[in-house]
Amino acid sequence: MPTELETQFSELIGVRVSIRLHEPEGGFRDILGHLVTPYSLRKKSGEIIEFSHSEIFVWKQVIEKV
């Protein structure tokens, strides 16, 4: 059964999001890009970043620049 976050992210594929992830050593890092799958996004550079939902501290949908 998909988690609530997996369901939300599945509906947002192709949408630009900002995700703040917990770092294993402590602290956070932010990633920004378009969701490719519920577990990965494509940065502006074209790089694909994979993440685990358990790493997510907070996330939000980001409005596209015009």
The whole domain housing 52 covers 4-61
Asked if residue 2 lies in contact with residue 47, where contact means CB atoms within 8 angstroms, the answer is no
H or E element in which residue 42 lies: strand 40-42
pTM to 2 decimal places: 0.89
pLDDT, one tens digit per residue, over 19-31 is 999 998 999 999 9
* pLDDT mean over 34-47: 97
Instruction: Kindly state whether residue 66 falls inside one of the protein's structural domains.
Output: no
pLDDT, one tens digit per residue, over 49-60 is 999 999 999 999
* pLDDT mean over 35-41: 97
Q: How many domains does the chain have?
A: 1
